[in-house]
Amino acid sequence: MPVGANRGYTASAAGVALETMTTTVLIVDDEPGILATLSGVLSDEGYATLTTESGEAAVELYRERRPDVVFLDVWLPDRDGLETLQALRELDPAAAVIMMSGHGTASTAVKAIKMGAFEYVEKPLSYNEAVDAVAGALSYRESVSRDSGLLESLEKTKTRLEAMPELEPAPELALLQETDEAQRTLSAGTVLYGLGLHSGNRTGMTLQPLPVDTGIHFVSLPTNTYLPAHVTSVAETDHATTLSREGQEIKTVEHLLSALSASGVTNLLIKVHGEIPVLDGSALEFCEALERVGVVEQDAARREIVIDRRYEVEGEGGKRLSIEPADVFSARYELSYPPPVGDQVCDFVLSDYQAYRDAIAPARTFGFMKDLQMMNELGLGTGGRLDNCILVGEDNVINTTLRFPDEFARHKVLDIIGDLYLLGYPIRGRVEAHLTGHKMNIAMLREIAAG
Tell me the catalytic residues: 438
Q: How far apart are CA 383 and CA 277, in angstroms?
A: 10
Q: How far apart are CA 49 and CA 274, in angstroms?
A: 33
> What amino acid is encoded at 88 in this protein?
L
| β pairing state of 190-195 and 176-186 | unpaired
CA atoms within 13 A on the CB side of 287: 24
Q: How far apart are CA 58 and CA 52, in angstroms?
A: 7
Beta carbons of 403 and 241 less than 8 angstroms apart = no
Strand order in the sheet with 248-251: 234-236, 242-245, 248-251, 274-275
Q: How far apart are CA 451 and CA 439, in angstroms?
A: 19
| β pairing state of 248-251 and 242-245 | antiparallel
DSSP string, 393-426: -SSSB-S---SSTTHHHHHHHHHHHHHHGGGSS-
Q: How far apart are CA 123 and CA 347, in angstroms?
A: 45
Burial of 247 (0-12, 13-18, 19+ CB in 10 A): exposed
**If we measure between CA atoms, which residue out of 60, 89, 50, 266 comes closest to residue 179?**
266
| β pairing state of 295-306 and 176-186 | antiparallel
H-helix or E-strand containing 435? none
**If we measure between CA atoms, which residue out of 186, 399, 179 comes closest to residue 280?**
399
Burial of 20 (0-12, 13-18, 19+ CB in 10 A): exposed
Neighbours of 431 (CB within 10 A): 25
Beta carbons of 182 and 303 less than 8 angstroms apart = no
Q: How far apart are CA 301 and CA 178, in angstroms?
A: 6
Number of H helices, E strands in the chain: 12, 25
